[in-house]
Amino acid sequence: MTTATTQELEQGILKSKIMELQSALFFTESLSIVKLPTHVISDVEVDMEGNIWFAIPRPVQHIDAFDKKISAKLDFFKKGQDFFVKVRGTAFLLADADEIAGNPSLSDEMKEKMMNSIGVKVVVTGYDLVDNRPKPAQNWLKSSTSHLSSWFF
């Protein structure tokens, strides 16, 4: 019997939460003059190392105008869910068809999407799992009683 390390458990939790949400905003934090715009991501894959893979539309500019390695953020969300995930990491832009096709971590479906667009691999450096459940409302009678008692006592 093998025991999972804390890092493996965290990767498993992160992967399951990301796969449950599936939608994200992709932000880059480049100091370059030419920057990638913010993209809405609707289909992602997470590999065994915890890297996040997805495709974005080809920009108008030539891909060489952009840095190949960019600091990035992903905000995963889904309407109706009581949590969201904020991921920080380093994004790598993949435009080389051979590099994409030879990657064993990706499904054939994702490889095909990346061939017709730009592939992005985000190496996760940190994340926050945020609980978005509404706080339970306090009983108005109990609340007003405590306010009155604090005024007089």
pLDDT in tens, 62-99: 666 677 888 999 999 888 888 889 999 999 988 777 77
Right CATH for 6-152 from 2.60.40.10, 3.40.50.10300, 3.30.1490.110, 2.30.110.10: 2.30.110.10
1 pLDDT more than 50: no
At 2, is the pLDDT very low, low, confident or very high (cuts 50, 70, 90)? very low
The string of DSSP codes covering 80-146 is T-SEEEEEEEEEEEE--HHHHHT-TTS-HHHHHHHHTSEEEEEEEEEEEEEE-PPPPPPPHHHHHHH
Q: Where are the domains of the chain?
A: 6-152
pTM above 0.95, yes or no: no
